[in-house]
Amino acid sequence: MTAPAPLRLWHLTSLDAPTVAVVWCLGFAWAGRITLPLWLPVVLALAGWSFYILDRLLDARRCLAPRENGQNAGFSPTLLRARHYFHWKHRRMFAPVAAVAAGLAIGLVWHSMPVAARARNSVLAAAAMAYFTSVHSPWRPASRPSSSRRLRLPKELLVGILFTLACAMPVWTRMAEGRAALVAPVLVYTALAWLNCVAIETWESRGRSTVFRMALALAGIAILAAGGGVALHLPRTALLLSAAALSGGALATLDRLRGRLDPTTLRMAADLVLLTPLPLLMLR
């Protein structure tokens, strides 16, 4: 089974992760009854897009550039996926696009973000940069282009933490009260981001999959947490957690269907099912 061309392109151009980031950020804002300035989700989208484009290009370069020059650097192209080949094929377009997106994000931050907020967000940015550098360091072991053995925590968990914090921090810092209502959603969505990474890694490596059980467990935890939100008279928190439960159930379904979907469609669908908070944004 193959996804429609627009959805495949959404994935191949690395627009999937920034889309999820914006939807999650707005979902946290909706649950916290916070109105975010327009520039903030724009910065999140631009920064995320440039980050993922650069990640794809560096992965592809480590594997493909030496071979194009008649050299052998010890990296196998079999470790790459369709998204890497797509970025490398169109690298003369993606490289300047990533530079422009990053430049616009920095310009918006400098122009619109308060100085105090810059200081807070610089910590998260430094952590993301440290992770990115460790992954793409030229002295890193050449086992996988997208893994790092220098990090104590699993790569998938680090990505889940950094991704969710980037989505939640703009809301958290703007809440004068009621922050406790966001604790459960942040934890559950961190676990969801982690599970998304684990699922993709498992499916693409064709290893033994435990995604089905983990996804159902996460869905169950999210449902229980949503019930707690209802009991505490926090309907928005409960709905946001219910959306996470739907995503967990969808990942479990994808794990069962993985043999019927081509790899690009499966990878795209793994991000598509994370957009379950989107309908909530239409509610008042």
**DSSP for 63-108?**
HHHHHHTT---S--GGG--HHHHHHHHTHHHHHHHHHHHHHHHHHH
- Interval 144-186: pLDDT, tens: 444 444 446 788 899 999 999 999 999 998 998 889 999 999 9
Of the given ranges (36-40, 96-100, 145-149, 274-278), which has the lowest mean pLDDT? 145-149
Say whether pLDDT at 228 is over 90: yes
pLDDT computed for residue 152 by the predictor = 62
Rounded average pLDDT over 78-82: 76
CB 198 within 8 A of CB 214: yes
- Interval 2-35: pLDDT, tens: 878 999 999 999 999 999 999 999 999 999 999 9
What's this model's pTM, rounded to 2 decimal places? 0.88
How distant, in Å, are the alpha carbons of 11, 26, 30 from that of 34?
30, 9, 6
pLDDT computed for residue 146 by the predictor = 43
Say whether pLDDT at 58 is over 60: yes
Say whether pLDDT at 76 is over 70: no
pLDDT computed for residue 3 by the predictor = 79
CB 158 within 8 A of CB 170: no
Rounded average pLDDT over 249-273: 94
Residue 217: pLDDT band with limits 50, 70, 90: very high
Taking alpha carbons only, the member of 241, 143, 236, 144 closest to residue 185 is 241
Taking alpha carbons only, the member of 36, 11, 1 closest to residue 281 is 36
Measured CA to CA, the distance from residue 111 to residue 48 in angstroms comes to 19
pLDDT computed for residue 79 by the predictor = 65
Average pLDDT, the chain: 87
Handedness of CA 39, 194, 267, 68 (dihedral sign): positive
CATH class label, 5-282: mainly alpha
Rounded average pLDDT over 72-88: 73
pLDDT computed for residue 70 by the predictor = 54
Taking alpha carbons only, the member of 192, 204, 185 closest to residue 248 is 192
pLDDT computed for residue 74 by the predictor = 47
Rounded average pLDDT over 220-226: 98
Q: Which two three-digit tokens encode residue 251? A: 């990942």
pLDDT computed for residue 117 by the predictor = 77
Give percent of the chain above pLDDT 70: 87
Q: What is the DSSP letter of 275?
A: G
Rounded average pLDDT over 94-98: 96
- Which residue ranges make up each domain of the chain? 5-282
What is the chain's alpha carbon radius of gyration, rounded to the nearest angstrom? 19
Rounded average pLDDT over 130-134: 69
pLDDT computed for residue 162 by the predictor = 92
